[in-house]
Structure 1
């Protein structure tokens, strides 16, 4: 699991609050590490859907530290409002194109949230958007996998921004193109396979290499279409949306001076 730190997310917290938040996160991570192997062993003893049940529980263990870490920072009300707006925008992006097969630009909004607000907030926006959008598209045992997949999209984008691969505002055209390509690769290489893993467990009570190969190969065209949708969306809306978020941070003081957005 990735190390969770306050990072360059919106807002700030007191040193004491940060220490308490890190302690809670550490306890949650340790608990997840202990529960994961136990869940795998116990899942093997459950007939029928044991593998799927254990896989879903492990995904929930992975999600827990991010939510605990975010809560531990004691975010400002304004920060929570911005996170809620970004999550709602991601939900709208998914719902607006439901009539286009496999065209899902939601991950693009999640990646923008991660770049603008940091990996922790990016993960939170992605997982919350997946959960909220499934109230439209249908909840099920696949929901935690979708929460993890879209959360990872925001996390990776935030980490790339932390590493100064992408600026948090005012992207040049070469950077916009690079971000679009990154979005495509991220969907095809990571987010899509996580979603395919959910399908794999859903279809099988006894996982086999043959079934895994069939599921992941069948998912490639779908993931490619998904990645193309994300790439196009990032190319068109990433720069104006990041600039708007930058102005919002400056206007309402939602960004600590130590975490001022870097530009190229």
Structure 2
């Protein structure tokens, strides 16, 4: 897969603002729901995360208004992630969501990656069941998409199958699995302890492994054709291209 976007670029002020919202404000909001609202207002917390997500995504367009076709592409990617998660409902943890989110982050940028991931987590749980786990899943899916976009922009993540599959497997296992297990302890245990957290990691090891393997497999199959098609769409319509990439 050829490099269609200039990589090795410095992070912009928009990227740093996005990082603060995603890495500080959203986790603080989730913890507010856990400790202050006692996990009973998860719809409210989920909607707040969606709102926070829209802020950095809106900043992508800087001084111009987003075109309808740009929003449609992002919505379609989120819908594909939701449909993919629903299609494999019978196989626990074997889902293509993280793969789609990584592709979105690489193709359209970190902010779009987070938006696709958070939206997919929220919408798909209308089929799988909403609950206090929804904000955690939204954050984990979105965070991986954000990291994919940032690492690709810095040139640390390549558009090769090896690079994408390696990042997908590791991020699914350590980022998604690592954070979700912490969330599970907070959701289902009356008090936090390292022993309970360790038990959560041990019991969730094979689920996290299956999830990581699924991400690698779906990236291996989908990354090249999806990125090539998205590149053609971006070239034809000039969608969400960083200013420096156009020079």
Q: Give the TM-score normalised by structure 1.
A: 0.74
Distance 1:234 1:53 in 2: 36
Task: For residues 39-70 of structure 1, give each alpha carbon's deviation from its aligned partner in whole angstroms, at most 9, with x where no partner exists.
Answer: 59x93xx6xx84x5799998887765432222
Is 1:200 the counterpart of 2:185? The answer is yes
Aligned CA distance change for structure 1 residues 120 and 26 (closer, same or farther; 3 Å): closer
Distance 1:237 1:206 in 2: 42
Give the RMSD, CA atoms, in angstroms.
3.4
Shift of 1:152: 0.6
What's the counterpart of residue 178 of structure 1? 163
What's the counterpart of residue 15 of structure 1? none
Contact 1:111 1:154 survives alignment (8 Å): yes
Shift of 1:181: 1.5
Distance 1:56 1:204 in 2: 21
Query: Structure 2 unaligned runs (5+)?
Result: 1-10
Query: Which has the greater radius of gyration?
Result: 1
What's the counterpart of residue 231 of structure 1? 216
What's the counterpart of residue 3 of structure 2? none
Shift of 1:259: 4.8
Is 1:68 the counterpart of 2:55? The answer is yes
Shift of 1:104: 1.3
Contact 1:127 1:148 survives alignment (8 Å): yes
Distance 2:12 2:41 in 1: 24
Distance 1:39 1:131 in 2: 18
Is 1:210 the counterpart of 2:201? The answer is no
Query: Structure 1 unaligned runs (5+)?
Result: 8-21
Distance 2:21 2:106 in 1: 25
Contact 1:32 1:62 survives alignment (8 Å): no
Aligned CA distance change for structure 1 residues 178 and 71 (closer, same or farther; 3 Å): closer
Instruction: Name the SS for the 1:98 alignment partner.
Output: coil
Q: Give the TM-score normalised by structure 2.
A: 0.79
Aligned CA distance change for structure 1 residues 212 and 59 (closer, same or farther; 3 Å): farther
What's the counterpart of residue 132 of structure 1? 123
Distance 1:156 1:119 in 2: 7
Contact 2:45 2:135 survives alignment (8 Å): no
Is 1:152 the counterpart of 2:143? The answer is yes
Task: For residues 120-159 of structure 1, give each alpha carbon's deviation from its aligned partner in whole angstroms, at most 9, with x where no partner exists.
Answer: 0000000000111111111111111110000011011111
Aligned CA distance change for structure 1 residues 32 and 233 (closer, same or farther; 3 Å): closer
Aligned CA distance change for structure 1 residues 201 and 255 (closer, same or farther; 3 Å): closer
